[in-house]
Amino acid sequence: MPASDAPPAAAIFGCAGPVLNAAERAFFARVRPLGFILFARNIETPDQVRALVAELRASVGRADAPVLIDQEGGRVQRLRPPHWRKAPPGAAFAALAGRDKAAALEAVRLNFRLIGRELADLGIDVDCAPVLDVPVPGAHDVIGDRAYGLDPAQVAELGRACCDGLLDEGVLPVVKHIPGHGRAMVDSHLALPVVEAGRAELEAADFPPFRALADQPWGMTAHVVYKAIDADRPATTSARVIGEVIRGLIGFQGFLVSDDLSMKALGGSFEDRTRAALDAGCDAVLHCNGEMAEMEAVAAAMTPLDGIAEERLARAAKMKRVPQALDVADVSARIDGMLA
């Protein structure tokens, strides 16, 4: 099989800056990752981002290589003023839902149409949103105002409106963090959260938003241990959580990517983390910080995208819709008016 026809590697990588350096270009050409993810360090101007996106895709010889970003709104948005709109956090829409559910659903969908249009204009086609986690009192603020409220049904409804808004603009949403990060008492960027709640409690409060949106194209795992399901491994590296809960009880059949392997919630070498996540059932691993030594270690352990993952990826791509006319200034004003 010619190399160009072979499946890409089951990994998504970041890069160090606003342009690719020679080492990155050679690395990506050699290991052929599935796709890429952008962060604030990669963002300067619209033209620069478009050029970087094109260069990333050219490095692997695939014009359809997914390019991801975290553009939720609020404190988690990589594209910021003055070139891009400052979008509200999830909590703003949750507050509106408490007053007017219909207005909140409309506002979320329109908000993410605007976000989706900005992303599509840059060539970015996957947004790591919505957050479907349901926080509990006393939980770490890593989720906090990113959430769409404390009621699982409301989180699901507003989360679907987010997905619809992105899909309207031809951008794929990523539901996160499956099967739920809302009970974490520590930030998984810095330490491993361990959830003590029983299975019944998780099934009643944490899993429902993900079950309601199990038809979405992409999902991202949580670096969280659920003692009632697998006391030894976080969801990302737990075959039991992925097989029994994410693919089973929740019924998610979309493309499943790990949360960032470089987060401190995970232990062991990057080779070990990569093998563990792929062996557990992640379709691809995500490595975000652009550190070449770490990326080389991930590459040493990653495998080609398997046939089932390729099918999930292709099915996800078909969910994109053809964008319709949108008056950006008018829609932005409508959102502001509803939230006021």
pLDDT for the residue 5: 77
Tell me how far apart the alpha carbons of residues 118 and 256 are, in angstroms, rounded to a whole number.
Answer: 24
Helix (H/G/I), strand (E/B), else coil: 36: strand
pTM of the model: 0.96
- Name residues whose C-beta falls within 8 Å of residue 333's C-beta, 6 or more positions apart in sequence: none
Tell me how far apart the alpha carbons of residues 39 and 180 are, in angstroms, rounded to a whole number.
Answer: 23
User: Is residue 140 flagged as an active site residue?
Assistant: no
Q: Which one of the listed residues 189, 215, 279, 330 is annotated catalytic?
A: 189
Q: Which domain holds residue 324?
A: 3-339
User: Is residue 223 flagged as an active site residue?
Assistant: no
First to last CA, the chain: 58
- pLDDT tens digits along 196-242: 999 999 999 999 999 999 999 999 999 999 999 999 999 999 999 99
- Name residues whose C-beta falls within 8 Å of residue 36's C-beta, 6 or more positions apart in sequence: 12, 13, 14, 15, 56, 65, 66, 67, 68
Section 16-29 average pLDDT: 98
Q: Where are the beta strands (DSSP E) in the chain?
A: 9-13, 33-38, 67-69, 71-73, 76-77, 126-127, 172-178, 194-195, 218-221, 225-226, 255-260, 284-287
Helix (H/G/I), strand (E/B), else coil: 259: strand
Helix (H/G/I), strand (E/B), else coil: 287: strand
Residue 318 has pLDDT above 80, yes or no: yes
Percent of the chain with pLDDT over 90: 96
Task: Give the count of domains, the chain.
Answer: 1
How big is the CA angle at 118 (ends 114 and 121), to the nearest 5 degrees?
135
187 or 162, greater pLDDT = 162
Residue 142 has pLDDT above 70, yes or no: yes
pLDDT for the residue 1: 28
pLDDT for the residue 2: 33
pLDDT range class, residue 4, cuts 50, 70, 90: low
- Name residues whose C-beta falls within 8 Å of residue 280's C-beta, 6 or more positions apart in sequence: 233, 236, 237, 238, 239, 241, 242
pLDDT for the residue 159: 98
Section 25-34 average pLDDT: 98
pLDDT for the residue 3: 45
Residue 72 has pLDDT above 80, yes or no: yes
Q: Which one of the listed residues 145, 259, 260, 283 is annotated catalytic?
A: 259
Residue 62 has pLDDT above 60, yes or no: yes
DSSP string, 64-92: T--EEE-EEETTEESS-TTTS--PPPHHH
Section 283-295 average pLDDT: 98
- pLDDT tens digits along 179-194: 999 999 898 999 999 9
> Domain holding 223: CATH number?
3.20.20.300
Tell me how far apart the alpha carbons of residues 222 and 233 are, in angstroms, rounded to a whole number.
Answer: 11
Whether the link from the prior residue into 179 is cis, omega within 30° of 0, is yes
Section 314-321 average pLDDT: 98
Give the bridge partners for 218, in sequence order: 174, 255
Section 247-276 average pLDDT: 97
Section 132-159 average pLDDT: 96
Find, among 122, 106, 126, 113, the residue nearest to 87 by Cα: 113
List the structure tokens of 140: 């770490």
Section 318-327 average pLDDT: 97
- Mean confidence (pLDDT) of the chain: 96
pLDDT for the residue 52: 98
